[in-house]
C-alpha cells in the first residue's frame, strides 16, 4: 500500500488496549482503533492501520480540536479505556470497551461513547472495516440507519450510531456537533447481534465495569506498587480466553523488535512457556481459577494422542490447533516500514527443551495452591518427565527461538532440571507413584552437567551454551527457579558480568548478536523488558535491595502512560515488539511482589 502515509501511524506505546477475553483492540491517543482482529484474538484483522495506512482498516472518531492536549486513562480498576481532549474551547472524552458478555460464546462487540464534558465540539467519524488483513474486497451498504460491512467468505459486521451515517469509499462516515453534556454512542458488532437495541449500550458498560472491578478486587497484592501490579494483572487477564482457557503471549502480530527490521512475529498464540509463567503470576496474586482453567486447556492438548506417544508442542492456537505455518502479508507496508509482516509462527515445529520445566513448575504450583492433579494428569506428568530423561542431553534452539544453529543451551538444561525437581517434589507431597531413583539420578546428572560444562572458569561466569563464551539474559532465571543461591559467589560474578555486557540503564538485552549471527537473523533488537524485571528481582534476592529499588522505579517510567509494556525497549526506552506482552507484565508482578516484601522486611507464606 502507499508509503506516503506511514507518518500517520502511531507509536507502539501510544496505544491502549480493550478486550473481552475473546478478542482485543488497540486504540491510539488520537481516538482511532487501528488494530482489531475479529471475532477471535487470532482471526484475520478488520482494522490494521497500525501495520500500514488507514486503507488497511481503521475506526477513526475524534473531535476537531487540533490544539487540544490528548491523554488516555483507564476507568479505575477496569479495562475500559477513556481518551480525552482538553482545549480552550471544549473538553471531550471517548469511552471505549469490548463489553464482557454473559455468554463467553457471544461474538465481540465494540462500544464507543462520545461525551462533551464542557464547551462544544464537532466530531468526525470514519469506520473503514477491511476484512481478512485488508486482503478481501469489503463493501459497505446502508441498512436502515446502520451500515453493514461484508466481504465474500467473511463474517459481516454492522455499525449502529446515534448520529446519521453515510458511506464514502466503502467506509461509514459522519460529521456531527455536540455541546455541553451531550453524548453519542456507536456500536460495531456482528450483523445480527441481538445487543443492537436501544438502551443496551448503557447496560453493557455497567456490567463490564462491574466485571473488571469484581475480578481485580480479588487480588491479594497490597504492596506499594499496587496500581502498576493491578494494571499488569488486568492486562494478563485480557490475554486469557474465556472460551478455552488458553493464555496468549501478546495481543498483536507484526510489530517490529527493531525499527525497520525483519524481526516481526505473530504472538497471538499460546506458548507453553509464556502461559506457564503467567500461571505463576496469577497464582502469586491469588487468582486460582485462571490457573485451573489453563490447566484444563492444557490437559486437552496432551489427551488427544490416540495411543501415540505424547508430543508437547511449543505453541498452539487458542483452540488447540498445532500447525501454524508462517505467511507473509506482502501487501502491508509494516509498522514504520518494518517488513515482512508475518502471521502464523514457524516456531511451532522447533525443539525447545525448556518448555518442560516451565510446564512442570506451573503444574507444581497449581497443585500447591489450586486443584489437585488427577490420576490421568499424573500419568501425563510421568510421560513428560520421561521425555525429559530421554532428551535433556540433546541440542535445541533455546528459549529465544533462535533460527540459526542448534546448541546445548544453558537455559534449556536449567529448565530440564526444574522439570525433574518439581516432579519429584510433587510426587513426594502428594504420595504419588514415580520412578524416584531414575528421576533423582537424572536431576543430579543435569545439575552436574550445568556446573561442569556451562561454567567458564577463565571468564568467571556461566555461558549461554556449551562451548560458547557469551552471556544470556535467561541466566537471570537461575536463582529465581532456585537452582542456585542468589548469593552464591559464582552466581554473583555472573550477575556482575551480565551487568557489564547486557545491562544499559536497567534495560537488559537478551544477548548480543555476535559475528556468528547466532539467532540466524540480520540486524539487532531492543532490550528485553521481561529480562529487565528479572534483573531487578535478582538484585533484590542478592541483598542489593536499594539498587533493585532504583532500577525498578526506572523501569516503571518506561511504561506507556497507561501502565502497559510491549516486548522490548529501544535505546530511548520507547516500546518495540508486540504489545501488551504477557511475559513483561508477569515479570513485573514477580519483581514488585518480592521487592516490596524485602523493602517492608516481611516474609511471605507464598513460595514457588
> For residue 150, what is the domain's CATH number?
2.70.98.40
Q: What are the strands, taking DSSP E only, across 29-170?
A: 32-37, 45-47, 58-63, 69-74, 81-86, 90-97, 110-128, 139-143, 146-150, 157-161, 166-168
Burial string for 3-24 (b: 16+ CB within 10 Å, else e) reads eeeeeebbebbbbbbbbbbbbb
Is 461 in a helix, a strand, or coil? strand
Question: Where a domain ends, among 195, 213, 231?
Answer: 213
Residue 54 buriedness (CB in 10 A; 0-12 / 13-18 / 19+): buried
Torsion sign across C-alpha atoms 557, 25, 213, 247: negative
pLDDT score of 3:
36
Structural domain span for residue 533: 222-600
Residue 466 buriedness (CB in 10 A; 0-12 / 13-18 / 19+): middle
| R_g of the chain, CA atoms, integer Å | 25
DSSP output for 474-522: GGGHHHHTTSS-TT-HHHHHHHHHHHHHHEETTEE-S----TT-TTS-S
pLDDT score of 5:
40
pLDDT score of 194:
86
Residue 80 within a domain: yes
Residue 608 within a domain: no
Residue 605 within a domain: no
**Shared domain check, 485 and 366:** yes
From 170, 172, 177, select the one nearest 159 (Cα to Cα). 172
Residue 1 within a domain: no
**Shared domain check, 320 and 191:** no
- Here the CATH number for the domain that contains residue 579 is 1.50.10.10
From 342, 268, 326, 325, select the one nearest 42 (Cα to Cα). 268
For 592, the enclosing helix (H) or strand (E) is: helix 582-600
Cell digits of residue 388:
525429559
Q: Which regions of the chain are under pLDDT 70? A: 1-7, 198, 303-310, 513-520, 602-608
Residue 293 within a domain: yes
The predicted model scores a pTM of 0.95
Are 57 and 214 within 8 A, CB to CB?
no
Q: How far is CA 40 from CA 51, 177, 331, 518, in A?
A: 19, 34, 22, 35
**Shared domain check, 232 and 116:** no
**Shared domain check, 437 and 411:** yes
**CA 604, CA 607: separation in Å to the nearest integer?**
7
Q: Over the stretch 414-432, which tens digit does the pLDDT of each residue have?
A: 999 999 999 999 999 999 9
**CA 286, CA 593: separation in Å to the nearest integer?**
12
Residue 607 within a domain: no
Question: Where a domain ends, among 187, 213, 239?
Answer: 213
**Shared domain check, 234 and 197:** no
Residue 179 within a domain: yes
**Shared domain check, 500 and 422:** yes
**Shared domain check, 227 and 209:** no
Residue 606 within a domain: no
ω into residue 340 within 30 of 0, thus cis? yes
Are 535 and 503 within 8 A, CB to CB?
yes
Question: Where a domain ends, among 169, 191, 213?
Answer: 213
pLDDT score of 608:
58
**Shared domain check, 128 and 265:** no
**Shared domain check, 288 and 416:** yes
Q: What are the strands, taking DSSP E only, across 495-599?
A: 503-504, 507-508, 527-528, 568-569, 575-576
From 352, 318, 350, 346, select the one nearest 249 (Cα to Cα). 318
**Shared domain check, 76 and 48:** yes
**Shared domain check, 423 and 455:** yes
User: What stretches of 217-271 show up as alpha helix (H) in DSSP?
Assistant: 226-238
From 219, 241, 231, select the one nearest 288 (Cα to Cα). 219
Are 123 and 93 within 8 A, CB to CB?
no
**Shared domain check, 397 and 546:** yes
DSSP output for 352-397: -TTHHHHHHHHHHHHHHHSPPPPHHHHHHHHHHHHHHHHHTTS-B-
Q: Number of structural domains, the chain?
A: 2
pLDDT score of 515:
43
Amino acid at each position: 500500500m502507499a508509503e506516503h502515509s506511514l507518518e500517520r501511524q502511531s507509536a507502539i506505546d501510544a496505544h491502549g488496549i480493550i478486550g473481552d477475553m475473546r478478542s482485543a483492540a488497540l486504540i491510539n491517543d488520537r481516538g482511532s482503533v487501528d488494530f482489531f482482529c475479529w471475532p477471535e484474538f487470532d482471526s484475520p484483522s478488520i482494522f490494521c492501520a497500525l501495520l500500514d495506512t488507514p486503507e488497511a482498516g481503521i475506526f477513526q472518531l475524534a473531535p476537531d480540536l487540533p490544539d487540544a492536549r490528548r491523554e488516555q486513562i483507564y476507568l479505575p480498576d477496569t479495562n475500559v479505556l477513556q481518551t480525552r481532549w482538553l482545549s480552550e474551547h471544549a473538553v471531550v472524552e471517548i469511552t471505549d470497551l469490548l463489553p464482557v458478555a454473559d455468554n463467553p460464546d457471544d461474538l465481540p462487540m465494540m462500544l464507543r461513547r462520545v461525551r462533551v464534558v464542557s464547551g462544544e465540539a464537532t466530531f468526525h467519524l470514519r469506520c473503514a472495516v477491511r476484512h481478512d488483513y485488508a486482503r478481501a474486497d469489503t463493501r459497505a451498504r446502508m441498512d436502515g440507519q446502520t451500515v453493514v460491512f461484508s466481504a465474500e467468505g467473511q463474517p459481516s459486521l454492522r455499525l449502529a450510531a446515534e448520529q446519521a451515517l453515510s458511506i464514502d469509499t466503502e467506509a461509514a462516515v459522519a460529521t456531527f456537533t455536540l455541546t455541553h453534556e451531550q453524548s453519542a454512542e456507536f456500536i460495531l458488532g456482528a450483523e445480527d447481534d441481538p445487543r443492537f437495541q436501544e438502551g443496551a449500550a448503557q447496560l453493557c458498560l455497567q456490567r463490564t465495569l462491574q466485571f473488571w472491578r469484581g475480578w481485580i478486587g480479588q487480588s491479594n497484592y497490597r504492596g506499594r506498587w499496587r496500581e502498576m501490579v493491578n494494571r499488569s494483572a488486568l492486562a494478563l487477564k485480557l490475554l486469557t480466553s474465556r472460551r478455552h482457557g488458553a493464555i496468549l503471549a501478546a495481543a498483536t502480530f507484526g510489530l517490529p523488535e527493531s525499527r525497520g527490521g525483519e524481526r516481526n512475529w505473530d504472538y497471538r498464540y499460546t506458548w507453553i512457556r509464556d502461559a506457564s509463567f503467567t500461571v505463576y503470576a496469577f497464582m502469586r496474586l491469588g487468582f486460582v481459577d485462571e490457573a485451573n482453567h489453563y490447566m484444563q486447556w492444557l490437559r486437552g492438548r496432551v489427551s488427544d494422542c490416540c495411543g501415540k506417544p505424547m508430543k508437547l508442542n511449543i505453541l498452539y492456537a487458542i483452540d488447540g490447533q498445532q500447525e501454524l505455518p508462517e505467511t507473509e502479508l506482502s501487501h502491508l507496508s509494516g509498522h514504520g516500514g518494518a517488513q515482512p509482516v508475518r502471521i502464523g509462527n514457524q516456531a511451532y515445529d522447533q525443539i525447545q527443551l525448556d518448555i518442560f520445566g516451565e510446564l512442570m513448575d506451573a503444574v507444581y504450583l497449581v497443585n500447591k495452591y489450586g486443584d489437585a492433579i488427577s490420576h490421568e494428569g499424573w500419568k501425563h506428568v510421568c510421560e513428560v518427565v520421561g521425555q525429559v530423561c530421554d532428551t535433556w542431553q540433546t541440542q535445541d534452539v533455546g528459549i529465544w527461538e533462535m533460527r540459526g544453529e542448534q546448541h546445548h543451551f544453558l537455559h534449556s538444561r536449567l529448565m530440564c532440571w526444574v522439570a525433574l525437581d518439581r516432579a519429584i517434589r510433587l510426587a513426594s507431597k502428594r504420595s504419588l507413584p514415580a520412578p524416584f531413583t531414575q528421576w533423582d539420578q537424572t536431576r543430579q546428572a543435569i545439575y552436574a552437567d550445568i556446573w561442569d560444562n556451562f561454567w567458564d572458569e577463565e571468564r568467571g561466569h556461566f555461558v549461554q551454551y556449551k562451548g560458547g563464551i557469551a552471556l544470556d539474559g535467561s541466566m537471570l532465571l537461575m536463582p529465581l527457579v532456585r537452582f542456585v543461591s542468589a548469593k552464591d559467589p559464582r552466581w554473583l560474578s555472573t550477575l556482575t558480568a551480565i551487568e557489564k555486557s547486557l545491562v544499559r540503564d536497567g534495560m537488559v538485552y537478551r544477548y548480543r548478536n555476535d559475528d556468528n549471527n547466532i539467532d540466524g537473523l540480520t540486524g539487532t533488537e531492543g532490550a528485553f523488558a521481561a529480562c529487565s524485571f528479572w534483573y531487578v528481582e535478582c538484585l533484590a534476592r542478592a541483598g542489593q535491595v536499594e539498587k533493585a529499588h532504583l532500577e525498578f522505579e526506572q523501569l516503571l517510567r518506561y511504561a506507556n502512560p497507561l501502565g502497559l509494556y510491549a516486548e522490548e525497549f529501544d535505546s530511548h526506552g520507547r516500546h518495540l515488539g508486540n504489545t501488551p506482552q504477557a511475559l513483561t507484565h508477569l515479570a513485573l508482578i514477580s519483581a514488585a511482589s518480592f521487592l516490596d516484601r524485602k523493602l517492608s522486611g516481611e516474609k511471605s507464606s507464598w513460595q514457588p
